Amino acid sequence: MHGLAQREGAIISHTRYQKKIFKDGRENLQSPLICYGDADLYICLEPVEALRRGIFASHKTSFVLNSWTIPSIMITADLEQYPSVEKIEEILRGYSNEIYLMNSTELALKHFNSNQQVNIIMLGFAIPTGKLPFIEIEHYEEVIKEWLRDPDINIKALHLGLEEGEKIIKN
């Protein structure tokens, strides 16, 4: 896939896991797609993207949002208006009370002088919600070391997100 970033294409992914599987296959995870209203955790790297696939959210969903906005082409062309982050938060409160916002892009720019670490900061931010069970921080660190460039910077970003997330989520 090429050229998506120039047009701010919307990307969505579903991740599903089950720690232990049953002998009876009917009890097990079988599909890669989440049912409507069944998301436990919603990590949004851009606020309006949270609304785009809100159908997967429900009262049990925890939202972690990066509050840094990226206006789409219709907004930069002045054909539509970008909703305020407060309005987005208000709409999401219709689903769940667990909505946590942090400006991860600003944090990344401040600490790393780059916005490439935003996704890893958001991962750290999501961990204190408790909606990523059975995975320890060491497991993320191992994967970062094996798979990502600049692992030291990315591990720092993970811990930065975790620290900031704990402050926001536990208050």
Partner 1 sequence: MNFKESDIINIVIAGTAGQGVITLKRLIEFAAQKAGVERVFGSESYNLFQV
**Would you tell me which residues interact with partner 1 (CB under 8 A)?**
1, 3-5, 7-22, 27-29, 31-34, 38-46, 49-50, 52-53, 56-57, 66, 70, 72-74, 80, 116, 118-120, 122-123, 130-136, 139-140, 142-144, 146-148
Closest CA to 112 of 145, 142, 150: 150
Burial zone of 78 (CB within 10 Å; 0-12 exposed, 13-18 middle, 19+ buried): exposed
Least Å from the CB of residue 153 to partner 1: 13
Q: Which is nearer to partner 1, 40 or 166 (CB)?
A: 40
Least Å from the CB of residue 107 to partner 1: 14
Least Å from the CB of residue 120 to partner 1: 7
Dig out the tokens for 116 from the structure. Answer: 């490439």
The residues pairing with 62 across neighbouring beta strands, listed in sequence order, are 41
- DSSP-derived letter for residue 55 is G
